[in-house]
Amino acid sequence: MNKLIRVLYILFCLQGGIFLLVFPWLRLWESHTLLVQYPVVRPLMMNNFFRGAVSGLGIVNVVIGSIEVMNLGRKRDLK
C-alpha cells in the first residue's frame, strides 16, 4: 500500500509539474475564467515574469517527481 501511495504521489508531481510548465504559455491561459471574472488581475497574469514563475514551480514539481522515481526502487529503513 505504501508503494502505491508513493507511485500516485510521483504521478501527481510529474503531471502537475508538466501542466504548470506548459500551461502559462498556451492561448488558453489568456482566456481562462479568472481573467474574465477579475479583469484587474489580467496585467499580472499576462506578465512574462509571472508566467516564468509559474513555469518555475512546474520545474520544481518535475524535479521532485524525478527524485522520487529514483528513490522508489531503494529500500529504506524507517527506524
Please indicate, yes or no, if residue 55 is contained in any of the structural domains: yes
In a domain, 45, yes or no: yes
Summarised one tens digit per residue, pLDDT across range 19-56 is: 999 999 999 998 888 888 888 989 999 999 999 999 99
Could you give the number of structural domains in the chain? 1
Where does 1-79 have alpha helices with state H?
2-22, 27-30, 33-37, 42-46, 48-72
In a domain, 24, yes or no: yes
pLDDT (tens digit per residue) in 64-78? 999 999 988 776 645
In a domain, 66, yes or no: yes
Asked whether residue 38 is domain-assigned, the answer is yes
Cell of residue 49, nine digits:
515574469
Q: Does residue 29 belong to any structural domain of this protein?
A: yes
**Radius of gyration for the chain, computed over Cα atoms and rounded to the nearest angstrom:** 17
Range of the domain at 65: 2-70
Nine-digit cell at 43? 496585467
